[in-house]
Amino acid sequence: MTFNKNNEVTGIYVLYVVSIIMNLIPIFSIASFGILIFFVTFITNYILKFTRDKQSADYSHYAYMTKTIWIFSFFVLIGLGLSYFIGDHSIVINMMHSAQSGVMFTSDQLMSLSADYLKANMVLFGGYFIPVTLHLIYRMAKGSYKSYKGQAITNLKSWI
């Protein structure tokens, strides 16, 4: 099953990739806008998926993107559970106690504390969340490439 290069499908892939990149930028306003783009793209993806014939190449791409997001969400949920139970949260706990005592943190202090938290949990974040994010990026790049080349996704059951 092949189709002509589809700008609509490719555009959805591009929006997903842009939102992922924006969420990796440690600036609150950019990451927040990235989350908004992601959710709007996800809803649009679902709407477009249900408006296509299940035998069409467009449907294969929309179904592939949907599955990719659900796989990513599943692994992130597992990672959040792991983070809760095995992560070092002493920095956050101390920060919360300070805030309850009336201490106000500047933006620079919050960025510094965030960096310290990431350093304290580097094995968890680097060993779990980076591979999960790379898997998401790989699947989106693979789908984008196939869409750009005018090819359908042939194995929708695959997790890779």
| Cβ atoms within 10 Å of 151's Cβ, excluding its own | 17
Amino acid 30 reads I
For the segment 59-69, the average pLDDT, to the nearest whole number, is 93
For the segment 18-38, the average pLDDT, to the nearest whole number, is 89
DSSP secondary structure letters along 39-99: HHHHHHHHHHHHTS-TTSHHHHHHHHHHHHHHHHHHHHHHHHHHHHHHS--HHHHHHHHHH
Encode pLDDT of 80-120 as tens digits.
888 888 888 888 899 889 989 988 888 888 888 888 888 88
Domain boundaries, the chain: 7-149
Encode pLDDT of 132-155 as tens digits.
988 998 999 899 898 888 888 988
Residue 2: strand pairing partners:
151
pTM: 0.78
